[in-house]
Amino acid sequence: MSATPDRTARLGANDIRARKGAEPIVCLTAYTTPMARLVDRHCDLLLVGDSLGMVVHGLPSTVGVTMEMMILHGQAVARGASHGCMVVDLPFGSYEQGREQAFRNAARLMAETGCQAVKLEGGRHMADTVAFLVQRGIPVMGHIGLTPQSVNTLGGYRVQGRGHHEAERLVADAVALADAGAFSVVLEKLPEMLGRRITQEIPVPTIGIGAGVDCDGQVLVVDDMLGLFADFRPKFVKRYAELAATAEAAITAYAAEVRARRFPGPEHSFGEGKPA
């Protein structure tokens, strides 16, 4: 019997947890209603990531993202999604102070967006907070490896887990999150062998982004895989389209036609007495 959930029903955290070792979990980011409608029909997980700060708002990192931004985009995605499990990131500064702060903000995110779970960054030092949230009815996705909210202490967006000590630290982080009740763990920018090892050692699904093919699922920023940024090409992103070039050509053609008074043409204009 297939472990794949019924695609006519809204998936939740328990459905994702049950996919451990089964059919790979498909996840993409979404920040708007139109994009949510496109990806929802194909994805098991929709991640409203704090990457929206960089992708949508042009911020230099995710550190400046606010709760209000996450709620606004979460509400937009919720209007376009009816199948995939929707997970919303807790932004930087909204959960690190303590578990009570984390609960207040996670509860607010769930109440105001209708999401099925929240995601937070960090390993063993966040395990107590994860357990506190899960015990109070808030499903949590963990995130270790390259944690963008900590880019200032990590020294940039570099591969994590190289070397024995760093690898063992990340394995312990993943185990601690799973033991605390996280229903899945994102592994970002790790050596492929380490991604495989963590996937084998924890009982909940791993969602890889630059962590190798052996993870239980994969996630990409949808704008990256669609090629909406012509000059941004991370090694772990496969371009499935080059929409920036297509959009540039369309905008160039539009601008030329407007300047030459070729647009609007008769077929785009209204005459006297003609129905709209």
Domain ranges of the chain: 13-242
CATH architecture of 13-242: Alpha-Beta Barrel (3.20)
CA distances from 120 to 80, 98, 144, 184, 263 (A): 23, 13, 9, 11, 49
pLDDT exceeds cutoff 70 at 8:
no
Buried b (16+ CB within 10 A) or exposed e, 91-119: bbebbbeebeebbebbeebbebbebbbbb
Contact in structure between 223 and 50 (CB atoms under 8 Å): no
Three-state SS letters, 210-266: CCCCCCCEEEECHHHHCCCCCCCCCCCCCCCCCHHHHHHHHHHHHHHHHHCCCCCCH
Structure confidence at residue 171 (pLDDT): 98
Name the nearest CA neighbour of 99 among 154, 138, 148: 138
Helix (H), strand (E) at residue 85: strand 85-89
* Position 47 confidence tier, pLDDT thresholds 50, 70, 90: very high
pLDDT exceeds cutoff 80 at 94:
yes
* Position 5 confidence tier, pLDDT thresholds 50, 70, 90: very low
Structure confidence at residue 230 (pLDDT): 79
- 4: tokens are 């794949």
Mean pLDDT for the chain? 94
Q: What is the mean pLDDT of residues 131-152?
A: 96
Please give the share of the chain, as a percent, with pLDDT higher than 70.
96
Q: Which amino acid is at 35?
A: M
Our answer to whether residue 248 is catalytic in this structure is no
Q: What is the mean pLDDT of residues 6-14?
A: 81
Residues in Cβ contact with 99 at an 8 Å cutoff, skipping those fewer than 6 apart: 128, 129, 132, 133
The dihedral of CA 120, 125, 129, 135: what is its sign?
Answer: positive
Going by the DSSP 8-state scheme, the letter that residue 88 receives in this structure is: E
Helix (H), strand (E) at residue 48: strand 45-48
CA distances from 60 to 97, 148, 160 (A): 24, 11, 21
Which position among 188, 192, 257, 267 bears the catalytic label? Answer: 188
Residues in Cβ contact with 26 at an 8 Å cutoff, skipping those fewer than 6 apart: 42, 43, 44, 45, 217, 218
Structure confidence at residue 276 (pLDDT): 62
Q: What is the mean pLDDT of residues 227-256?
A: 93
C-alpha 175/C-alpha 154 separation (Å) is: 21
HSE, side-chain direction, 13 A CA sphere, residue 212 = 16
pLDDT exceeds cutoff 70 at 1:
no
pTM of the predicted protein model? 0.93
Binding residues: 50-51, 89, 119, 121
77-91, 223-237, 243-257: segment of lowest average pLDDT: 223-237
